[in-house]
Structure 1
Amino acid sequence: MKINYLTILSLLFLQILGCKGQPEYLFLPQSMKLDLTPFLFRVYSPSELATLSNSDFNANESGLITSTKFSRYLSNWSNNRPSGVVGNLVLFQIQTSGSSSGRYVFFDGKQTFAYPIANLPDLLTDTRDDGVLSIDGVVPKGKKISDFFAIYGIDPAIDYIVFAQDTSSLANLSSATFAYYSLLYWGFPKERLAILNGSIADLTAASSLFTTPSYTYTNSNRAGSIKNLYRDHTVLQLTIGDLIHAIKNGTTNLEEVDPIPTEGFFIIDGRPNASYTGTVNSTASGSKYANCTSKTNSTFVSNTCVVTYEGRIKSATNLVPTDLYDGTTFQFKSFSQLQTYLNNTGYPTNKQIYVYGEDATKGSLVWFVLHQILGKPTRLYEGGWKQFGALGLRSPSSGSSPSAITQPASYWRTDIVTLSESNTSNADANVPNYLLDISRQFSKTANKLRTEDKGFLRGTSSSAGSGGGGSPTGGGGNACGG
């Protein structure tokens, strides 16, 4: 079909007149019935998506914000909101386990909204298959993100979202950083995403945040679609294929892998030192490992069964997560301290960072520090050691389950000297039945997730049109914020 570019330009000009003064991310086709996806879709790089924090966290308007800034926002959102933001302020107060603080921020139910939430991982993680080995707790499918916006009345074209711990804990902080990562991955602009430094409970006790002991649910009763932002941030996800291809200097026959960055790459292991050195779980035993050999799920549950072997990814350096935050308040350390910890890893300036943790949620905390505080171009290997360490070759003893990898020459075997180091095998009885069929062991791609997600964003995947209960329709109203 021949495109009349003059007509398109004329329509865009008329829309510009109607949206004068609005921020750049309010893409015009939201209020136009035109499919301009091929022309307007933009694929972002890790460096473009990075946020360099001010050395004084109080000066930040997004990324990591303090109670000083957050209180100012809440006191008068219309006048104090960040420049370019025209939508609502939406807070998620996260309590993943244990008793809640019983304190809630003030919100007006008109332009500011707050939601205590105990099941954020259920809403913003999934169990997904990358084409090699399924893994739980990774970034959710597009349908789940759409449902999330619908449930809480969020328009991603204009609204500003804050994730905050309810009470101080590593689980709450990690849940907040992964929620931030999930939304950024799905195209939510970094200028309108934030994590509160500190918990609602502690900040209330310190009189840094005024709260109330009662809560009344209020919803804006509107939502928009992530597709209408025309942004592709999926580069944030580092696949195991990308990782192996880079470690082997591009000498693989893997397909659908990203090219090795021209500036080079630097691998950071964001796990505790005992995990990094391969000294944990290697002699694990006890009742919590009961029935591991009968488990045939392709994923394993934390604190039950373990991976095939312990160790670390080849050439990775360790950035210990507990160094990055205060162990009582779970506030991040100062900018200068965080920069020092990164410098101590030997990181060469400007190289692209590949970071991983035990799993996606725990890895996201280190990713957040590197990418959204220190501003370094960083990609997260969501599979983490949970996936990488599962792909070892093992000859099980009688009665034990087979390992995921049974073919020594499998493309995905990771317990070899070119891909991992400091390796220690786990007890056979503690490893679940991961067994991959032969076709998977010699599959040439691990890019299934990103392919699905790119298709969803562009409306070309089979799941792109699945609305389902409560999913949003339309573009969230007028793209100019009306």
Structure 2
Amino acid sequence: MKLKYLTLISLIFIQLIGCKGLPEYLFLPQSFKLDLTPFLFRVYSPAELATLSNSDFNLNDSGLITSTKFSRFLSNWSNNRPAGVSGNLVIFQVQTSGSSGRYVFFDGKQTFAYPIANLPEVLADTRDDGVLAVDGIVPKGKKITDLLTNYGIDPAIDYVVFAQDTSSLANLSSATFAYYTLLYWGYPKERLAVLNGSIADLTASNAIFTTPSFTYTNSNRGNGTKTLYRDHTVLQLTIGDLIHAIKNGNTNFEEVDPLPLEGFYIIDGRPNAAYTGTANSTASGSKYANCTTKTNSTFVSNTCLVTYEGRIKSASNLVPTDLYDGTTFQFKSFTQLQTYLNNTGYQSGKQIYVYGEDATKGSLVWFILHQVLGKPTRLYEGGWRQYGALGLRTPASGSSPSAISQPASYWRTDIATLSESNTANADANVPNYQLDVARQFIKSANKIRVEDKSFLRGSSSAAAASGGGGAPSGGGGNACGG
């Protein structure tokens, strides 16, 4: 890397002494046709991306906002928008089923609102990390670009709010996962928010003004996050990072992050029954009547049970239902949230590794830890759906219904050094997937982050051409002008 910088500086110096009379507007590296995108990116740390909420949520300008601030935004966005925000206000009403029948009133000029029933499809993907593909995690960059373009959002200036349409855990966790996804892809935290409370409840209490009809309109603009030159991908904790940390750095893994100097602390953000291994926390849906007929798949299905239940080694439990009101699905007070975290035994300053059953459910706890309490936190998106799938199972007859068939696999997790309170699930409830031997001994689980970093640092030609009405005249193809 140092050599690259020295080479770049040398080239610029040579041009400075050899190209006298260059027009002031001509960007020197551009005249050499050098793509500086990799050098322009800033890689952020979990601490830099964290947000410490005001103890009075009403005073927050981003992160977790209340109806008080939200209604002020809507009433006069141009005068009441947060400092440093120059663009539009964009609201997504998140509804996973049904509808409140009420829609946030917007002017179609500086404020825009959209009901979105398929947010999990729009802002999630099934992706392969190199070990085991998992559904419901951050999508590829193109999906984010498509979302921002389709809804006319400019990530360089616009402010986005995710709000529950009606009050439910599914809507709340979908909103926090959407927040996590945009933040992961480089959207600045200062212009992202989750509304504390649902549109339906806030309408009923006359806290906000809504209408019974909706007409789609947008600002007719939009852009991806590449041009922000921000790399927030550290928010994603891979299973390789996690196992490497649990083993105190004693693995032969490649492309894993070093152990944080401040130490780490693992939090299991699932209900207590799942944490203790007494509940089948990974079961959902009924697409497969007979789970064992799902053969030859490398995917973890969200319709069956994983190989075993339990928890990740040394994890403490932060019960998600403690964090919000079970009726309004509003988050509890700052003081209460801080107390719940303290009760886990967390020592201030340590980096937190948090996981849930899956990425969406885990994002709710991540949001509280990282964007309300301000703790440096990374989300293990694979969650127990991936971790609990990587157990060894050898049935008396028939093919093994577990992903791991090699006892010495690098990715076997049902061992005392990596998990606790293990309880095997019945063979009939475990999908019949098995990883090939190459996957079981692969040394990296960083495929997703590599892909995403590559996407962010793709060609910057479009970015270079925007905002200036095309390339400057006078320089032509000659590096020295003329």
Q: TM-score, normalised by structure 1?
A: 0.89
Check conservation: 1:319, 1:341, Cα contact below 8 A.
yes
Contact 1:224–1:477 (Cα < 8 Å) also in 2 = no
Indicate the SS of the match to 1:131. coil
Structure 1 residues 290-369: aligned runs within 5 Å: 290-296=289-295, 297-302=297-302, 304-369=303-368
User: Aligned partners of 2:143 and 2:101: how far apart in 1?
Assistant: 28
Structure 1 residue 478 corresponds to structure 2 residue 467 = yes
Contact kept, 8 Å, 2:268 with 2:317, in 1: the verdict is yes
Secondary structure of 2:299's match?
A: coil
Aligned to 1:197, the other structure's residue is in SS state strand
* Amino acid across the alignment from 2:251: T
Q: CA deviation at 1:80?
A: 0.6
Compute the displacement of 1:37 (Å). 1.7
Instruction: State the Cα distance separating 1:289 from its structure 2 match.
Output: 6.2
Matched, 1:231 2:230: yes
User: What is the rounded CA distance, in whole Å, between the counterparts of 2:243 and 2:43 in structure 1?
Assistant: 23
Q: Does 1:3 align with 2:14?
A: no
Letter paired with 1:180: Y
Residues 54, 263 of structure 1: alpha-carbon distance in 2 compared, 3 angstrom cutoff: same
- 1:399 positional shift: 4.0
Aligned pairs for 1:58-207 within 5 A: 58-97=58-97, 99-207=98-206
Q: Secondary structure of the residue that 1:434 maps to in structure 2?
A: coil
Distance 2:252 2:285 in 1: 41
The structural deviation recorded for 1:211 is 0.9
Structure 2 counterpart SS, 1:136: strand
Q: Distance in 1 between matches of 2:139 and 2:282?
A: 34
Cα RMSD (Å): 2.8
SS of structure 2 residue aligned to 1:367: helix
- Give the Cα–Cα distance (whole angstroms) in 1 for the partners of residues 465 and 113 of structure 2: 20
The code of the aligned residue for 1:164 comes to A
1: CA distance between counterparts of 2:12 and 2:210? 56
Gaps of 5+ in 2: 1-7, 469-482
Find the residue that maps to 1:3 and give its secondary structure.
helix
Q: Give the CA deviation at 1:401.
A: 4.1
Give the Cα–Cα distance (whole angstroms) in 2 for the partners of residues 343 and 121 of structure 1.
32
The answer as to whether partners of 1:270 and 1:366 remain within 8 angstroms in 2 is: yes
1:314 Cα offset (Å): 0.1
- The AA in structure 1 aligned to 2:11 is I
Paired residue secondary structure (2:11): coil
Shift of 1:402: 3.1
Q: Identity across aligned pairs (percent)?
A: 79
- Cross-structure match for 1:376: 375
Matches of 1:230 and 1:348, distance apart in 2:
33
CA, structure 1 residues 446+276, in 2 after alignment: closer, same or farther (shift >3 Å)? same
What letter matches 1:202 in structure 2?
D
Aligned-pair distance for 1:477? 5.5
Deviates more, 1:182-191 or 1:213-222: 213-222
Q: What corresponds to 2:57 in structure 1?
A: 57
Distance in structure 2 (CA, Å) of the matches to 1:404 and 1:280: 21
- CA distance in 2 between counterparts of 1:412 and 1:403 reads 12
| Equivalent residue letter for 1:46 | P
Task: Count the aligned residue pairs.
Answer: 453
- Classify the secondary structure of the residue corresponding to 1:4: helix
Q: Secondary structure at the match of 1:78?
A: helix
Cα shift at 1:38: 3.2
Would the aligned equivalents of 1:401 and 1:429 in 2 still touch at CA under 8 Å?
no
**For residues 448 and 457 of structure 1, what CA distance do their matches in structure 2 show?**
14
CA distance in 2, matches of 1:478, 1:145: 21
Q: TM-score, normalised by structure 2?
A: 0.89
| Structure 1 unpaired stretches of 5+ | 16-28, 466-472
Indicate the residue corresponding to 1:426 in structure 2.
425
Q: CA shift at 1:451, angstroms?
A: 0.2
Q: Deviations over 1:229-284 (max 9, x none)?
A: 00000000000000000000000000000000000000000000000000013999
Instruction: Report matched runs for 1:410-421 at 5 Å.
Output: 410-421=409-420
